[in-house]
Structure 1
Amino acid sequence: MTHQRIEIGSEFSLDAQHSIPKDDTFLHRLEDFQTMYYRSGRSAIRGVVSQINGRRALIPAYICQSVIEAFEQENYILDFYTINKDFSIDIDDVSRKLTEATDVFFLMHYFGKLQSDDDLQTIHNLCRSCAATIVEDTTHSILTKPRTVGDYCVASLRKWFALPDGGVAYRVSGELNAAPNCVNRSFTNARAAGMFLKGLYLEGLTGGHEVYRDLFAKAEKWMDGDNEAGEMSELSKQFIAGFDVGDAVSKRGENANYLADHINNRFVSPALGTYRAEESPFFYTLYVEKRDGFRSYLNRHHIYCPVHWPIEDQRLFEFATVKYISEHLISIPIDQRYDLVAMEYISRIINQYEEDSTEGLR
């Protein structure tokens, strides 16, 4: 006899049901664009900026380290602009730093909410006046809106559902360079094996979780050292066709707004708050004064939250708001794996934080 285990967050699990074709998928949502599917979002960025063939890029200081590395692997010189605590763009900072020497402006939307229409129009006008190409990262926002003002768009699709590998580059018109063939599939194979093993673990059919966690860690370490900006695997292309986007959008919005209505703890505050019907949240984000202690408390209750993002590049420490976000933000999983019963559990655990987590408050 088996019993299901509870684990909220961390990597997605995989089973054969994920390969059954659906009617509303990323393939359908992007059918009006020219697309090229890559092994990762990082590879998609490299493919695009290599095609642009520029020398200098202006990118947000609040960004994943892999984005910085993707540009630098293509020999770009980087300048950084600041992001405010509400994840809006510091337009004054952009206006000062965007010059005729800028070849690429990298635009990011955060956690499913789009940058404001006014800011997007300003960015569009500034980039046109400087002849800079806008590369729009839609990793967090692709299910809210696949494009706003980007000349090119890029996204990491594997962050949204059970996908061994997968990123995409797309644009409204014009050709995209083909993604190179991948010689080594170690990353894909390790992640696929880990996802299947995690599914078996959660169903109570295998023992400890050490094996699949080790596979995930080794896969990411391998990707960090990889210089091959290759294509998506055929396996992942099958799973993309099996991911029901509409169902995911509905569940994510419902889950995020449940947490917005039910979390009530003086040690946390919402970073973004309630989502509108047309917005698809990536995570539900909170600011916590002593984030690491709070995160450890959630881990002890089997709620696993990523950090978006640890600062690895020393140049980013000069941006005070970015440093604050990196040290105080926590991202609560609200994706399509979970229902309102799970959200009730999460909110209850968070609301009990003061009583049960004295070591995290010191």
Structure 2
Amino acid sequence: MKNLSTTSPNKGIGSFFSFVESNSKKFYNNKTNFNPKNKILFYTGRHAIKFIIETIKLEGNINTFWIPDYYCQHVTSWLKMNYSNIKTYTVNPLENSEVIRAYNFLNDSDVIMVNNFWGLSNCTIDIKNKKVKVIEDHSHGWLSDSCKMSKADYCFASLRKTLPVPLGGIAWKPNGEKLKTNKYINSNMYINLWDKILLGMKKKSEFEYSIKKNESLKNQFLKLVYEAENSLHADYNLVKIDKKHKEVIKSFLKIDYLSFKNKNLNLILKLLQNNNGFNVIKSKSTPFGMTLHFENLKNMNNFKNYLISNKIYPSLLWPDNNTQYGYFLNIHIDYRYTEEDMNFIATTINGFGKN
């Protein structure tokens, strides 16, 4: 099979980030001014949402905590382990402009989370005169218009889906007010997890630029990162982030990641042929990645396996969800990839089912 890149012979498309410095030349001309001054940084998006919930609880009891019925299965499970008053509401991840008529089910003292699907959602919610708190999740919409111009009471995001950092989460209030102080614990566990994932990122970088394909090295970085991921799922504490790690995240927050995605998306969309098996979710806005929507599970799995066999590693958003909305595959088109890579992805996708 043809290599994806002449400079990185073992590079694939997707999966977690390999190591890169925030002052890398590729980032010089791609900066963002979006930087909430009242932000609080965390190791994960889960810590950020828990901080927000615990902050709201300082003002009074929460009646019901509403989350979308279509949402990340890991975060849903983690939240349910922390809070017993969670209920779900119906939202269609295909309808970016949908108005969530939350006044139909909300009561005073409720909290509702609105998800920015694929970075394309308007996050429009109608609560009428209900005395509730609205939280927005911009984990898949960092730097999107809905993220930067939010009117919610609180926002949060898992940053490591966009920033090439071992761990990272953020919370802020769009109105500019400071978030209230809350209780943390100090945890060496997360310092160790940061170091473990960082080592995995560095080993992945070494693997990508090595002349020979080193399966042992590949197995090493996969093992490091997946072990760390499993540890994250099983910890429920609100942890204070180490100062050194906070500075690393801050250095990467200055980068406009959407500029790379916008360029790559425009390139690949010109090359893709129509396919009856899926639709590319399109919008005037720049999405988290190139998201493909499938109606048929078997077709989606066949396509996913085909991509993986060609070193393209898509992410399923998300497993264990309501299948009435179909299935969503994300193909990464971020700063890591060049015009050469977009040509490779398009050629590969166009070749599906033709052999």
Q: Which residue of 1 aligns with 2:180?
A: 176
Paired AA for residue 62 in structure 1:
Y
Q: Which residue of 2 aligns with 1:348?
A: 347
Q: Which residue of 1 aligns with 2:40?
A: 36
In 2 relative to 1, CA 147–50 (structure 1 residues): closer, same or farther, beyond 3 Å? farther
In 2 relative to 1, CA 34–261 (structure 1 residues): closer, same or farther, beyond 3 Å? same
Q: Which residue of 1 aligns with 2:156?
A: 154
Q: Which residue, 69, 72, 85 being the options, matches 1:77?
A: 85
Q: Which residue of 2 aligns with 1:359?
A: none
SS of equivalent to 2:119: coil
Q: How does 1:256-267 map to 2 (within 5 A)?
A: 256-267=265-276
Q: CA deviation at 1:22?
A: 6.8
Report if the CA contact (8 A) 2:30-2:257 is conserved.
no
| In structure 2, distance between residues paired with 1:181 and 1:24 | 35
Render the CA deviation track for 1:51-96: whole Å, top value 9, x for unaligned.
1112411111111123324433442412212222524476466343
Q: Which residue of 2 aligns with 1:61?
A: 69
Paired AA for residue 75 in structure 1:
Y
Q: Which residue, 13, 18, 26 being the options, matches 1:13?
A: 18
Report if the CA contact (8 A) 2:103-2:130 is conserved.
no
Report if the CA contact (8 A) 1:247-1:336 is conserved.
no
SS of equivalent to 1:353: coil
Render the CA deviation track for 1:94-126: whole Å, top value 9, x for unaligned.
3432223x521101111121316xxx2x52x43
In 2 relative to 1, CA 70–133 (structure 1 residues): closer, same or farther, beyond 3 Å? farther
Q: Which residue of 2 aligns with 1:132?
A: 132
The answer as to 2:199 corresponding to 1:190 is no
Report if the CA contact (8 A) 2:281-2:293 is conserved.
no
Structure 2 unpaired stretches of 5+: 1-6
In 2 relative to 1, CA 174–6 (structure 1 residues): closer, same or farther, beyond 3 Å? closer
Report if the CA contact (8 A) 1:4-1:202 is conserved.
yes
In 2 relative to 1, CA 64–147 (structure 1 residues): closer, same or farther, beyond 3 Å? farther
| In structure 2, distance between residues paired with 1:99 and 1:250 | 40
Q: CA deviation at 1:246?
A: 4.8
| In structure 2, distance between residues paired with 1:336 and 1:323 | 31
| In structure 2, distance between residues paired with 1:5 and 1:115 | 38
Q: How does 1:1-362 map to 2 (within 5 A)?
A: 4-15=9-20, 17-18=21-22, 29-31=34-36, 33-53=37-57, 54-88=62-96, 91=99, 94-100=102-108, 103-115=110-122, 120=124, 122-123=125-126, 125-126=127-128, 129-145=129-145, 146-171=148-173, 172-178=176-182, 179-184=184-189, 185-204=191-210, 207-208=214-215, 209-243=218-252, 245-273=254-282, 275-276=283-284, 279-288=285-294, 289=296, 290-311=299-320, 322-325=322-325, 328-356=327-355
The aligned length equals: 331
Q: CA deviation at 1:24?
A: 6.9
Report if the CA contact (8 A) 1:39-1:166 is conserved.
yes
| In structure 1, distance between residues paired with 2:88 and 2:341 | 38
Report if the CA contact (8 A) 2:47-2:169 is conserved.
yes
Q: Percent identity?
A: 23
SS of equivalent to 2:227: helix
| In structure 1, distance between residues paired with 2:70 and 2:181 | 28
SS of equivalent to 1:222: helix
In 2 relative to 1, CA 68–55 (structure 1 residues): closer, same or farther, beyond 3 Å? farther
User: So what's the TM-score if we normalise by structure 2?
Assistant: 0.84
| In structure 1, distance between residues paired with 2:313 and 2:70 | 22
Q: CA deviation at 1:235?
A: 4.5
Paired AA for residue 218 in structure 1:
E
| In structure 2, distance between residues paired with 1:142 and 1:286 | 19
Q: Tell me how large the CA RMSD over aligned residues is.
A: 2.6
Paired AA for residue 259 in structure 1:
I
Report if the CA contact (8 A) 2:30-2:259 is conserved.
no
Structure 1 unpaired stretches of 5+: 317-321, 357-362
Report if the CA contact (8 A) 2:142-2:162 is conserved.
no
Greater per-residue helix proportion = 1
In 2 relative to 1, CA 23–283 (structure 1 residues): closer, same or farther, beyond 3 Å? closer
In 2 relative to 1, CA 64–113 (structure 1 residues): closer, same or farther, beyond 3 Å? same
